[in-house]
Structure 1
Amino acid sequence: MQDLDANGITDAVIEQMAQTPDPRMREIMEAAVRHLHAFAREVKLTPDEWLKGIAFLTAVGQACSPIRQEFILLSDVLGLSRLVNVMHDATGREAAGTETSLLGPFFREQAPKIELGGSIAYASKGPEIVIFGQVTDADGKGIAHATIDVWQTDAEGMYDLQAHDPTVMEMRGQLACDAEGRFHFRTLKPLGYSIPMDGPVGAMVRQQDRHGFRPAHIHILVAAPGFRELVTALYFADDAHVDSDTVFGVSKSLVIQEALGLPDAPMPGIPSIRYDFTMSRDTAGGGGRVGSDPSRLVPAG
């Protein structure tokens, strides 16, 4: 038995966990305890404040459902999801590799396959644009037949899972690049939207006087054998929230804008965007997307 003061309790907890068999779990939990205890000491956390914090975390858990993951939404709005992605990029992304962005909640396996030049708008209406470019390695060599999954909101800011019966797939598709890694497809210009604001995380965002909006964007997932899977998104420069994404997904290199008369545009009469994707070699023998389990819906979108 020992008398524990505000600093000794930290050492006691870490000592009790010292025999954790899994070394990575031991490392993570020891760091978590050190930082959580340091946080409590820094802000002089009171029992009443901690009980309110526990109530908030309990409400976050209670808001989760098979189609809503409030805890991941909390991670998103605190910037933790973005931080983990940035650190993951640094472990494997080659210098010229395309930056990643958040996967979001609306990725679905087995999206409808479209031919090069096809449209992912099967029923939705709105201003049409063309996305074209090339998938290359770090040396600029085209990656033959790389596959591209694309999904986005419609022109009213709704994903298919929000606007339709869950069996309907709309504003999403999968296409294969040609032998030189080139691709082009048609879509509608998407609309930005608010994260879910009706739960405990939304209440916290309002208390912080934040707007809660995501700028208009198009999700992209690029895959090819021997390369690290690329999960990213393209963000529209003319969206009012492109500089203040509430989940911090935007990078300068991912900002785009449609225009007429682009060189090499495959459909000159339609506003186009050229974006080339650069993939990193899968040196770890596994690659894999970050936070990609499609059974976990990530509310950031």
Structure 2
Amino acid sequence: MRPLPTTPESLLPLVLAAFAETPDARLRQLLASLTTHLHSFVLEHQVSQAEFERAVAFLVGIGQATGETKNEVILAADLLGVSTLVALLNNPGAGGHDSDAALLGPFWRANAPVLEAGASIACDSTAGVALEVSGTVADAEGRPLAGAEVDVWQASPVGLYENQDPQQPEMNLRGRFRTDAEGRYRFRTVFPAGYPVPTDGPCGELLRAQRRHPFRPAHLHFMVSKPGCKVLITQVFPENTEYLDSDPVFGVTTALVGRFEAASGPLPARLRRDFTLAPGETVFPHPPIP
């Protein structure tokens, strides 16, 4: 018969022993470490039954609040800084200042339309300041990558992604572009706007309890890929946009702040952004929403 716990401190060794036969060594390691940290946390802070029940309700709530228009679980990871931590840990700069990774966020959708170079991702009814975006994609040696895919998405000038807004057509402000023989890409859009992260679920309650604001700075999302290279997931923020130093999801790093040329008369605003891809396995993330 296995030993039985007699004190709070005596429980952890029994739990870890139960994990010992887990065949997957990495799963065994991660579960043992996570459980050790959880037990230490509970003991250190003498977590009450009411606090435990509140934590369980939060976890249940973020699952129940996840659906076709938002992923509350990803949002929780974002608000705790975990998404950015994992992105930075697993994607050190590929050799170019503009190629720092960023969190994926809860609004990427797979299979955005493939568009011709120079096309607009904004439907005709999307009002806003015109913006032209261009740049190059290169490998770690600086050689241009032809046929690389540049997947872009953004919120509208009113601060909503198309899946959140019934006034926008399907896949508005989303598109995929292929680089030419010299590694160049370009597209047209409208200037992005900042927006609040969703606050109608448990994550909103968490922000209010912490007296934190929900507003993300304006940004463009990019996912750049090419077979034989690691997928680069990144964002670009205008240098003069609000909330750069208080992004609730901790997604802004110095390298992700870009220089947007302001619109002038009939000329649109402009952004030049070059990307460097590191060699490695081409693995795409699981879409947070359909």
Which residue matches 2:289? 297
Offset at 1:116?
A: 2.0
Aligned residue number for residue 206 of structure 1: 208
Q: Which stretches in structure 1 are left out of the alignment for 5+ residues? A: 262-267
Tell me whether 1:120 sits opposite 2:121 in the alignment. yes
Partner of 2:83: 81
Q: For this pair of structures, how many residues does the alignment match?
A: 284
CA distance in 2, matches of 1:260, 1:199: 37
Q: Any idea what the Cα deviations from partners look like across 1:138-187, whole Å, max 9, x if unmatched?
A: 12111112121111112111211122378622111111111110122211
Aligned residues of 2:69 and 2:164 also touching (Cα < 8 A): no
Identity %: 37
CA contact (8 A) 1:104 1:297 kept: no
- Relative to structure 1, the CA distance from residue 170 to residue 67 in structure 2 (aligned partners, 3 Å threshold; closer, same or farther) is closer
RMSD over aligned Cα, in angstroms? Answer: 2.1
CA–CA distance in 1 between the matches of 2:151 and 2:4? 58
Structure 1 pair 215–139 and aligned structure 2 pair: CA distance change class (3 A): same
Alignment CA distance shift 1:3-1:191 (3 Å): closer
Aligned-pair CA distance for 1:31? 0.3
Task: Mark the CA change 1:189 to 1:66 in structure 2 (over 3 Å): closer, same or farther.
Answer: closer
Match of 2:248 among 228, 246, 249: 246
Amino acid at match of 2:257: V
Unaligned runs of 5+ in 2: none
Within 5 Å, which residues of 2 pair with 1:148-187?
148-164=150-166, 168-187=170-189
How far did 1:2 drift? 3.6
Q: TM-score, normalised by structure 1?
A: 0.87
**Is 1:278 paired with 2:276?**
yes
Q: Helix, strand or coil for the counterpart of 1:220?
A: strand
Cα distance in 1, alignment partners of residues 181 and 87 from structure 2: 30
CA distance in 2, matches of 1:17, 1:109: 36
**Structure 1 stretch displaced more, 93-102 or 26-35:** 93-102
CA–CA distance in structure 2, aligned partners of residues 117 and 125 of structure 1: 18
List per-residue Cα deviations over 1:26-55 (Å, max 9, x = no partner): 111100110001111221212222122222
Q: Compute the displacement of 1:3 (Å).
A: 4.3
In structure 2, the partner of 1:29 is 31
- Separation of aligned partners in 2, 1:75 and 1:272: 32
The answer for the alignment partner of 2:60 in structure 1 is: 58
Aligned to 2:244, the other structure's residue is in SS state coil
Aligned partner of residue 109 in structure 2, secondary structure? coil
Selected match of 1:140 from 135, 139, 142: 142
Report the CA distance shift for 1:69/1:270 in structure 2 as closer, same or farther (over 3 A). Answer: closer
CA spacing shift, 1:260–1:190, aligned 2, 3 Å: closer
Q: For residue 104 of structure 1, what is the amino acid of its counterpart?
A: G
1:110 maps to 111
Task: Between 30-39 and 94-103, report the one with greater CA deviation.
Answer: 94-103
Q: Provide the C-alpha distance between the structure 2 equivalents of 1:2 and 1:159, rounded to a whole number of angstroms.
A: 53
